[in-house]
């Protein structure tokens, strides 16, 4: 899929990913990149640039990467946000994540496999058309997943080491 390739936006290559978060107005006090790869320690801090925030990282050994920006606004508010310049999204129990699909990525077959009517879950897909037509997992399964992952990885809304 790839990111939007205009202006100050996230870009990927065979060797690295340059995460960019537009913020020419200075509304953001600090920004980090939260990669959905490992949940130990603080997400990497981005550097301030004239047009926003930037972080260069070696390309992870994956074909598909989900991420969010963890921002602290000048007024002290905090949020986990999708990349505003990246249209590709993945639906998760915690909300949408931005997605980079590197060249050579192939969607797993189970994403489009038929499922039995009345089953508790249908695989989620990252395309906009799939999001419009998908059925979500049962509320109790999502709640249990959310509670377990919040306790393991997020504590009380702060990153845990």
- Residue bearing the bigger pLDDT, 130 or 59: 59
Digit-coded pLDDT (tens) for 45-93: 999 999 999 999 999 899 999 999 999 999 999 999 999 999 999 999 9
Q: What is the pLDDT, as a whole number, of residue 129?
A: 42
Residue 43: which of 10, 80, 7 has the closest Cα?
80
- Name the pTM for this structure: 0.66
110: which residues sit within 8 A by CB, 6+ positions away?
123
Name the residue with tokens 């249209």: 87
Digit-coded pLDDT (tens) for 18-36: 999 999 999 999 999 998 7
Tokens of 134: 């998908």
Mean pLDDT of the region 114-126? 63
Domains within the chain, CATH numbers bracketed:
11-107 (2.60.40.10)
Contact 18, 11 (CB under 8 A): yes
């Amino acid at each position: 899929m790839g990111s939007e390739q205009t202006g100050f936006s996230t870009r990927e290559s065979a060797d690295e990913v340059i995460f960019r978060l537009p913020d020419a107005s200075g509304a953001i006090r600090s920004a980090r990149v939260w990669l959905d790869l490992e949940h130990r320690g603080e997400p990497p801090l981005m550097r301030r640039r004239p047009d926003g925030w930037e972080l260069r990282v070696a390309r992870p050994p994956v074909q598909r990467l989900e991420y969010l920006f963890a921002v602290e606004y000048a007024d002290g508010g905090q949020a986990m946000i999708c990349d505003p310049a990246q249209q590709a999204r993945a639906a998760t129990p915690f909300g949408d994540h931005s997605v980079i699909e590197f060249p050579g990525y192939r969607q797993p077959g189970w994403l489009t496999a038929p499922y039995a009517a009345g089953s508790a879950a249908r695989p989620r897909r990252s395309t906009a058309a799939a999001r419009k037509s998908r059925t979500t997992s049962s509320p109790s399964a999502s709640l249990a997943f959310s509670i377990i992952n919040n306790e393991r990885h997020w504590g009380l809304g702060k990153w845990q080491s």
